[in-house]
Chains A and B, each alone.
Chain A
Amino acid sequence: MSIPPCLLHLRIHNKEHNFGLWLPLFLAWLILAAMALAFLPLFILLLLVALPFGWGEFMLLLGPRFYTLLCALRGLKVDVDRANEKVEILFV
């Protein structure tokens, strides 16, 4: 089973700053998961209301598709290099 990226490596190098940060994304996912659980009853209620209007499929698929998108972020790397400035973003 694939999991979303756990860390985000941000590196900024310019005249004033030169630092690298490892941001713990897994903490954000944990908070999101807790929020999703908290809002689950409300979601089920909304789903029951939306089903007759044809929005049921959209609501059911949105969660899994969004999760797949998050998982696929792993490996994304953006590297911008300009005179005296360098920014690097990497999802690990």
Chain B
Amino acid sequence: MTENQKKILEMVADKKITADEAYRLLSLIQPSADSGGSGHSEQKPSPKYLRVVVDTEHSWEDNCGERCDKGPAHINIRVPVALIRAGVKLATLIPPEAYNQMDAKLKNKGIMFDLRNIKPENVDELIEALNDLEVDIAGGQEKVRVYTE
């Protein structure tokens, strides 16, 4: 019996909560109790790599006289998480004038994205979130998968 389960039963004994409420609380903490036995869920190790896998049915090439189809392509990129962190830290050194020019260029291309909003702490949060998440995009003839490992 875990600490949390004991506390709930004590609250029932003290008539602080009803049996129904206790049942609901017990069912809520059940998954974590089952997985660890100690009431704490196991922490995944922090990811080391970000994997981007792109599968396309057609890959186009321009240098063959005219735009020609080279058939299906498979692109697999393994990016060390440390490289993302280092890149963001390096980007914080970019002078504000350069940021303004980049923003203007991005807006011209219809991308409303402020690079100044990306901070090293945000990247850590994003990577932690990716640890539990797998992005899977399948659109038309392309399939993109982003996950950490």
Chain A residues close to B by CB (< 8 Å): 58, 61-62, 65-66, 68-69, 71-83, 85
Binds A, one of B10-18, B37-45, B71-79, B123-131: B71-79
Q: Closest 5 A-B residue pairs measured CB to CB?
A: A83-B71, A72-B82, A72-B83, A79-B76, A77-B78
Query: For residue A65, which residue of chain B has the nearest CB?
Result: B90
CB within 8 Å for A73 and B83 given contacts A58-B93, A68-B89:
yes
Set of chain B residues within 8 Å of A62, measured between Cβ atoms: 93
A76 vs B87: C-alpha distance when bound (angstroms): 13
Set of chain B residues within 8 Å of A76, measured between Cβ atoms: 78-80, 83
Query: For residue B69, which residue of chain A has the nearest CB?
Result: A83
Set of chain B residues within 8 Å of A78, measured between Cβ atoms: 75-78
Contact call B71/A65, Cβ cutoff below 8 A: no
Contact call A65/B86, Cβ cutoff below 8 A: yes
Would you give the 0/1 interface string for B77-111, flagging 1 where the beta carbon is closer than 8 Å to chain A? 11110110111011001010000000000000000
A71 vs B86: C-alpha distance when bound (angstroms): 9
Interface of B is mostly: mixed
Contact call A73/B76, Cβ cutoff below 8 A: no
A80 vs B79: C-alpha distance when bound (angstroms): 14
CB within 8 Å for A74 and B71 given contacts A65-B86, A65-B90:
no
Contact of A72 among B71, B85, B95 (CB under 8 A): B85
Contact call A58/B80, Cβ cutoff below 8 A: no
Nearest-neighbour CB distance to chain B for A15, whole angstroms, equals 12
Query: For residue A69, which residue of chain B has the nearest CB?
Result: B86
Set of chain B residues within 8 Å of A79, measured between Cβ atoms: 74-78
